[in-house]
Amino acid sequence: MRTEHASGMVGVDVGGTKIAAGYIDAAGRPVEVGVLPTTPGDGAANLAAVAALLERPQLSDARVVGVSMATTIDADGRLRDPHGWFGWRGLDLEQALSVDGRTHIVIADAEAGAIGEHRFGAARGTTRPLYVTAGTGLAHAYIEAGTPLEGAHRSAYFSGYTIPARCPWERCDAANVERISSGTAIAEAYFGDARSDARQVFAAAAAGDERGADVIEHAAWHLGVLLADLMLIYDPEAVVLGGGLGSGGAGYLERADAIAREHISVEHTRRIPILRAQLGPASCWAGAAAIAGSRSRATGETEGVVLT
């Protein structure tokens, strides 16, 4: 049966390990349609994966698509992709995905995730939420009156690149917090290989593995201190922790929350809630879809039709 997609909101999330796509239904609920793996460093394969997802029947009639990217975009609309995760460094992704009758809007994943949780998830009803994503990388976005703080270079999200605080580990010499608290860093610290799966470290720790528990405690300590700093800087109504680790890491949010509150001396800041993302891994593509839908209405683009 053919049903009208009331908002025309379709989104794709291109992350370090997977590419997911879905739409927002007429009731405002995110509906995931498909997931494909990200191919490290292979730009052509990743473009093909995005195109294949958008050919799914539920998405193929979309006229405007939001694309969340786990990197930032420069003033010319080109992806920075500093780690070469996608093979898209310097690529104008909107142009590369261009097809007749469809517009693509590319958004940094921290911004997209923040909008997704603000519109449909844990931050709904707030006006000044702070979103922090912990997954393959680590980043944040702060929203003021519905608008993410973008910065002068469209990169006001780089909390993961901040210098680590002094911590209990004598051998801690990482260059930035992302190299300690992201899923990639946790996997590398435990297995010696950043390509390993951080979920296995959490499973080992849950089974009583002391080394796994030590790695996770160290990562949570630094994430907690980072959260404390961001809470003091932005004074948000609430903090939402998303990404693969933030929304799914067993005990990770709770430990980071406790560490953050131990390091905050301002009473009202200490009381700010730290919440798990309600949309889980859908936060970013749902936020990208919402941004695309808003821009399509503002510019008078034809709304999409979804087949269900």
Mean pLDDT to the nearest integer, 99-124: 94
Instruction: For residue 89, give both structure tokens.
Output: 């460094």
Q: State the Cα–Cα distance between residues 302 and 119, nearest whole angstrom.
A: 22
The 8-class DSSP code of residue 281 comes to G
User: Which pLDDT band, with edges at 50, 70 and 90, does 294 fall under?
Assistant: confident
- The whole-angstrom separation of Cα 24 and Cα 7 is 7
- Residue 131: phi, psi to the nearest 5? -110, 130
> Taking the CB of residue 44, how many other CB atoms lie within 10 A of it?
9
Distances (CA, A) of 154 to 71, 76, 109, 114, 217: 11, 11, 12, 15, 32
Q: What are the pLDDT digits (tens) for 196-213?
A: 889 899 999 999 999 999
How many Cα atoms occupy the beta-carbon half-sphere of 80 within 13 Å? Answer: 14
Q: Which residues contact 173 (CB under 8 A, 6 or more apart)?
A: none
| Topology agreement, domain 2-113+282-307 and domain 125-277 | yes
List the chain domain ranges: 2-113+282-307, 125-277
Is 225 or 83 the better-scoring residue by pLDDT?
225
pLDDT score, position 185? 95
- pLDDT tens digits for range 5-24: 434 799 999 998 899 999 99
Three-state secondary structure call for residue 295: helix
Sheet harboring 129-134: ordered strands across? 147-148, 138-144, 129-134, 238-242, 274-276
Q: What is the DSSP string of 199-259?
A: HHHHHHHHTT-HHHHHHHHHHHHHHHHHHHHHHHHH--SEEEEEHHHHHHSTTHHHHHHHH
Angle at 89 between CA 163 and CA 131, to 5 degrees: 45
| Range of lowest pLDDT (46-50, 220-224, 244-248, 258-262) | 244-248
Rounded Cα gap, residues 242 and 135, in angstroms: 8
Superfamily of segment(s) 125-277 = ATPase, nucleotide binding domain (3.30.420.40)
Confidence of residue 188 (pLDDT cuts 50, 70, 90): very high
Q: What's the gap between Cα 176 and its chain centre?
A: 18
Sheet holding 18-24, edge to edge: 30-37, 18-24, 10-14, 64-69, 103-108
Fold of 2-113+282-307: Nucleotidyltransferase; domain 5 (3.30.420)
DSSP lists the bridge partners of residue 2 as: 307
